């Protein structure tokens, strides 16, 4: 038994000590806790931590196997994302107690705040008093026991799991219903109460999912895409695509869902040219040896930065949207190229971890596959706020792809049309976000860079919050970004183009005199080293490729990712289809693509007269269309659109 006095040392130091004592198998007493945040986060040893007083936000968060006893009250996010282990709170708990737990037992002797057990997957959350509104909001599994009253809208949009209420059920949430109480389950429940020495003699009512929203009622006939020229640019107003949309929607009675990225032409990096005539490419020999390209990303707060051999990363894409072997191939390619890969939503597999030398682990609102162990073995942590393809909305994964294995890694019921929450339970504004970032840093000992993934919208404002909340870098995703599945209209009409996004970001930072003070990784519709160099010239610190790497690895751009039976075995979880994909071959194809990108970046940088990619700047660019000129404020040189031709370059 050791003692830590929070009146004497700061939480950061205390957490390091807690983990150290934990590793030694010592139980810990914490005195003078003063309702500090993040007490005990990141602990993964089966020791007991007693908090003599009240704790603040995220007490016992991001832990596994440990036992916590808090004498008085706790702030919000109690036991955040806890795997196994237990927490006993003597007093009350604030909002989202037991958020995203996956096996833990949480006992609150008093009342608990709103949205308790939000997105929980497994384990038990017991509240001996009353619950506030929306207990069990979006829960995927596990058990909530409320001995007092349920609060309003209990079980709102729960996908699975059970909620038992001993007092009054004040109102049911959407897609929740009263279920039958089986005696065996009640016996288990009473055994649980006995174990924690809690006496309750009343009866229970049970709330379960009603099943109205777990599946789209009608499935959409998979159509192969119409050529984009038919509905883009100069096409008719009532073009074939518009007519197809109307016909399909009048059959299914709901909005359309599809995969891939936006379909239409938008202002793009392609509308920007180089101010200098790029010529004599044939004479450039081994430009890679002549241009410094190594780029460190994410070290500004003292974390170990990502060490990139060129200013390029792999964009976040999930195992789930993509097959296991595709993620493996991309991981291998990223290692061969000396760049970083990103898990996207949905967890980190051993194969992915093994394949990618540098791997960023992404956290979404549903906390699918999120856990302390994978956090610790990641090379970077990323909070997903939104993505370019469907900003403002959560991910969608059609039932066909929610296989047993995938459901396990994500901790969700198998075979549902998974619509991930669009918001984080504990990020309702910039101030929450700040504390969330701190929790992640605390849990991993400040070793890892923490980034934010932002779909481009009100970037000018968002980037200021990202900067002030202490992120190490921003992954900024324009509306040309792609996805495994999303609302078709959202993909086309929500968000701003990638070139607008970078301009807004730079403007936003300039407005608060923070130019260059947070690194920006630009993505969304980038296809080659040319796009990369233009992005760097505009002011990005690095770029990320998503779809382009998929294509390099054999994707044929049929845009049927959402269907789940990808013909090339990429966007599928069906073993019959996945076996069509040969990761060992495709990894090399993707790697060769990345090497092509490297050569292009080096050759262009060299041709522009520099020896370091960091020298690239806006003066190297001109705008080739009126829109690009107005968005980027680059000089408008339409005549160069005609001149920049093949023969001049080689």
Partner 1 sequence: MLLPAEMPDDTDDLHFVPAPCQVACPVGTDAPSYIAYIWEGKYEEAFEAITATNPFSSICGRVCDAPCEPACRRVQSDGPVQIRNLKRYVMDEIGDRLDPPPVPVTQKETVAIVGSGPAGLVAAHDLSIAGYEVHVYEMTDRLGGMMIWGIPAFRLPPGVIDEDIQRLTKRCPGLKIHLNTALGDGVTLEELKERHDAVVLAIGSWWGKKMGIPGDTDTRVIDGVQFLRDVNAGARPEMPETVVVVGGGDVAMDACRVAKRLPGCKHVKVIYRRGPDEIPARAIELEGAVKEDIEFIYNTQQTAVSPKGNQLAITCLKTELGEPDEEGRRVPVEIVGSEHEIECGMIIASIGQQGKCAHLDEKGMMLSDRVRTEWGSMLTDDPKVFAAGDGAFGGSTIVMAMHHGQRVAYYVKAFLEGHRDPMPYRQPFRTRRVPLAQDLEWEKLPLQEPAFHGLGANPIEFPEIEDTYGSDTARNEAARCYRCDAETGTADYSVRHREDIFTMARTNPLDERSHATMLARRLQPRDNPFPDHRKATLDDLIFLPANLTRLVIDPYREACRIDTELGAGRFVMEQPFIATGFDDAPGQVREAIAEGLKDFDTPYLGVRALSTDVPWLQLVVPGQIAPSTDAAAQIHNLGHEFRPIETTRLTENQLLGLSVSSPDILEETISYALAKKFDILLLDGSGGLGTPWAELSGEPNLTILRDAVAILRRIGREEEIDLIFFGGVRSGTDTAKLVALGSMAVVLGVTLGLAAGAEIRDRHDMQFSADRDKNDRAEAVAHILNASAQEASMMARCTGKTNLQNVEPEDLRAITIATAKATGIPLAGTL
Of 45 and 578, the one with the shorter C-beta distance to partner 1 is: 578
Minimum distance, C-beta of residue 409 to partner 1, in the bound complex (Å): 23
503 binds partner 1 (CB under 8 A): yes
Site residues for partner 1, 155-214, by CB under 8 A, read 156-157, 174, 213
650 binds partner 1 (CB under 8 A): yes
Of 55 and 139, the one with the shorter C-beta distance to partner 1 is: 139
282 binds partner 1 (CB under 8 A): yes
312 binds partner 1 (CB under 8 A): no
DSSP for 122-179? EEEEEESS-B-TTTTTT--SSEEEESS---TTBTTT--S-EEEESS----BPTTEEEE
118 to 157: interface string for partner 1, x by CB under 8 A:
--------------------x-----------------xx
Binder to partner 1 among 3, 32, 251, 617 (CB under 8 A)?
251
Binder to partner 1 among 17, 160, 178, 242 (CB under 8 A)?
242
The C-alpha angle 151, 214, 578, rounded to 5 degrees, equals 140
Of 154 and 372, the one with the shorter C-beta distance to partner 1 is: 154
DSSP for 35-64? T-TTTTTT--SS-EEEEES-B-TTTTTT--
Of 40 and 267, the one with the shorter C-beta distance to partner 1 is: 267
CA 590, 591, 596, 600 torsion-angle sign: positive
Residue 404, Cβ density class (10 Å: 0-12 exposed, 13-18 middle, ≥19 buried): exposed
3-class secondary-structure state, position 436: helix
Site residues for partner 1, 14-43, by CB under 8 A, read none
9 binds partner 1 (CB under 8 A): no
414 binds partner 1 (CB under 8 A): no
Binder to partner 1 among 193, 208, 226, 434 (CB under 8 A)?
226
Number of residues that bind partner 1 (CB under 8 A): 143
Contact 98, 106 (CB under 8 A): yes
510 binds partner 1 (CB under 8 A): no
Minimum distance, C-beta of residue 192 to partner 1, in the bound complex (Å): 30
577 binds partner 1 (CB under 8 A): yes
Of 131 and 479, the one with the shorter C-beta distance to partner 1 is: 479
Binder to partner 1 among 210, 415, 595, 614 (CB under 8 A)?
595
Cα Rg of the chain, angstroms? 26
Of 101 and 454, the one with the shorter C-beta distance to partner 1 is: 454
Contact 411, 342 (CB under 8 A): no
98 binds partner 1 (CB under 8 A): no
Residue 588 structure tokens: 């090399």
Binder to partner 1 among 216, 446, 599, 610 (CB under 8 A)?
599
Closest residue by Cα to residue 131 from 167, 178, 100, 175: 167
Closest residue by Cα to residue 449 from 295, 614, 601: 295
Site residues for partner 1, 383-402, by CB under 8 A, read 385-386, 391-393
Question: Any idea what DSSP says for residue 74?
Answer: B
450 to 489: interface string for partner 1, x by CB under 8 A:
--x-xx-xx--xx--xx------------xx------x-x
Of 4 and 214, the one with the shorter C-beta distance to partner 1 is: 214
Stretch that binds partner 1, among 30-38, 71-79, 338-346, 421-429 (CB under 8 A): 421-429
Residue 110 structure tokens: 């008093």
Binder to partner 1 among 190, 300, 423, 614 (CB under 8 A)?
423
Minimum distance, C-beta of residue 577 to partner 1, in the bound complex (Å): 7
Any residues with CB less than 8 A from the CB of 586 and at least 6 apart, and which? 326, 329, 553, 554
Closest residue by Cα to residue 290 from 563, 605, 73: 605
527 binds partner 1 (CB under 8 A): yes
Distance CA 47, CA 24 (A): 9
636 binds partner 1 (CB under 8 A): no
546 binds partner 1 (CB under 8 A): no
Residue 415 structure tokens: 């075979």
What is the b/e burial string over 167-180, where b = at least 16 CB atoms within 10 angstroms of the residue's CB?
bebeebbebbeebe
360 binds partner 1 (CB under 8 A): no
Distance CA 343, CA 285 (A): 36
Distance CA 140, CA 411 (A): 7
């Amino acid at each position: 038994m050791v003692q830590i006095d929070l009146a004497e040392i700061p939480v950061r130091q205390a957490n390091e000590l807690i983990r150290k004592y934990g590793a030694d198998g010592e139980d810990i007493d914490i005195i003078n806790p003063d309702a500090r945040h993040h007490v005990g986060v990141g602990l993964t040893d089966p020791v007991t931590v007693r908090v003599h007083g009240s704790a603040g936000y995220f007490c016992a968060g991001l832990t596994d196997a440990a036992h916590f006893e808090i004498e008085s009250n706790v702030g919000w996010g109690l036991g955040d994302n806890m795997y196994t282990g237990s927490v006993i709170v003597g007093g009350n708990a604030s909002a989202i107690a037991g958020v995203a737990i996956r096996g833990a037992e949480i006992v609150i002797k008093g009342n608990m705040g709103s949205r308790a057990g939000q997105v929980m997957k497994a384990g038990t959350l017991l509240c001996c008093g009353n619950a506030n509104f929306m207990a069990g909001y979006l829960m995927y599994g596990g058990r909530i026991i409320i001995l007092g009253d349920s609060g309003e809208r209990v079980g709102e949009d729960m996908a699975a799991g059970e909620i038992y209420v001993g007092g009054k059920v004040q109102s049911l949430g959407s897609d929740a219903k009263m279920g039958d109480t089986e005696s065996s389950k009640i016996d288990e429940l009473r055994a649980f109460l006995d174990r924690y020495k809690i006496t309750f003699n009343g009866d229970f009512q049970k709330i379960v999912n009603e099943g109205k929203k777990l599946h789209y009622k009608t499935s959409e006939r998979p159509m192969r895409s119409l050529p984009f020229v038919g509905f883009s640019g100069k096409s008719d107003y009532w073009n074939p695509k518009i007519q197809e949309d109307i016909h399909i929607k009048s059959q299914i009675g709901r909005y359309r869902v599809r995969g891939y990225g936006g379909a239409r032409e938008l202002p793009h990096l392609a509308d920007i040219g180089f101010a200098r005539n790029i010529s004599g490419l044939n004479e450039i020999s081994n430009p890679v040896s002549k241009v410094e390209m190594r780029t460190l990303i994410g070290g500004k707060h003292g974390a170990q930065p990502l060490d990139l051999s060129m200013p390029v990363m792999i964009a976040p894409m999930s195992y789930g949207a993509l097959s296991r072997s595709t993620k493996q191939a991309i991981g291998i390619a990223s290692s061969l190229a000396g760049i970083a890969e990103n898990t996207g939503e949905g967890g980190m597999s051993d194969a992915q971890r093994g394949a990618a030398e540098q791997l960023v682990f992404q956290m979404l609102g549903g906390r699918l596959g999120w856990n302390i162990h994978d956090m610790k073995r990641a090379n970077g942590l990323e909070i997903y706020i939104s993505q370019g393809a469907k900003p403002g909305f959560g991910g969608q994964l059609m039932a066909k792809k929610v296989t047993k294995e995938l459901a396990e890694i994500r901790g969700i019921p198998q075979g549902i049309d998974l619509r991930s929450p669009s918001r984080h339970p504990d990020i309702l504004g910039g101030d929450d976000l700040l504390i969330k970032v701190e929790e992640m840093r605390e849990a991993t000992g400040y070793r890892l860079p923490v980034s934010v993934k932002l779909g481009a919208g009100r970037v000018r404002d968002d980037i200021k919050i990202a900067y002030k909340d202490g992120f190490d870098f921003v992954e900024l995703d324009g509306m040309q970004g792609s996805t495994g599945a999303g609302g078709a209209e959202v993909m086309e009409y929500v968000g701003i183009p990638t070139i607008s996004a970078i301009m807004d970001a730079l403007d936003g930072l300039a407005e608060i005199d923070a130019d260059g003070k947070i690194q920006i990784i630009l993505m969304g519709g980038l296809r080659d080293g040319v796009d990369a160099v233009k992005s760097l010239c505009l002011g990005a610190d690095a770029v990320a490729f998503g779809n382009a790497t998929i294509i390099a690895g054999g994707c044929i751009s049929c845009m049927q990712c959402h269907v789940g039976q990808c013909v090339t075995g990429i966007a599928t979880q069906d073993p019959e289809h996945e076996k069509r994909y040969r990761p060992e071959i495709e990894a090399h194809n993707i790697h060769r693509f990345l090497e092509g990108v490297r050569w292009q970046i080096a050759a262009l940088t060299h041709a522009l007269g520099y020896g370091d990619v960091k020298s690239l700047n806006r003066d190297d660019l001109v705008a080739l269309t009126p829109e690009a000129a107005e968005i980027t404020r680059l000089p408008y040189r339409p005549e160069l659109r005609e001149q920049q031709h093949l023969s001049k370059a080689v």
